Amino acid sequence: MINQNRQAFLDTLAASEIGAALLAKSDNGYNVIVGSTPSHPNLFKSYADHPRVLVKISSLGLKSSAAGRYQILARYYDAYKNQLGLPDFSPASQDKIALQLIKECHALEDIDAGHIEHALMLCASRWASLPNAGYGQRENKLVDLKSCFVNAGGVATV
């Protein structure tokens, strides 16, 4: 079930992973391939399956198959497709995967209660763009993500 705070958290994750400018130039991020920029969006056309494009994303040779609004890796899509009985990589399927990842991080209660800082901390192991994720990639600031959550309609508590 997606309530107001859960939707705001999903929107916050998308803004963190994709960025507002690229969200606006795509299908709200659902069709974005890793490495895209607002000036050079790399978008996939079919939601029938994960696009399975391996992209070099660093000069150190780091490659990723991340795609979609929540930048889901192909191997994780395959596992969650089976686990959740998903028919495709559609926006609804991507949302279900993201919610399952959040659930596995034990963050749903915090999101529902508006404890956004703790929820973001719990989810940092799953999304490289979250504060203190530790993947060596760009991490967004907690204050910016909290603001994004509230602007997306979430109700945050201290």
- Residues acting as catalytic residues: 17
Question: Token pair 């696009």 is at which residue?
Answer: 51
Query: In whole angstroms, what is the distance from residue 66 CA to residue 19 CA?
Result: 15
Which 3 state secondary structure label does DSSP give 103?
Answer: helix
Two tokens at 25?
Answer: 């130039």
Q: How many beta carbons lie within 10 A of that of residue 20, not counting itself?
A: 12
Reference 130, options 151, 105, 155, 154; nearest CA is: 105
For residues 158, 28, 100, 49, the Cα torsion angle rounded to the nearest 10 degrees is -170
Residues making up the chain, counted from first to last: 158
DSSP track, 74-86: HHHHHHHHHHHT-
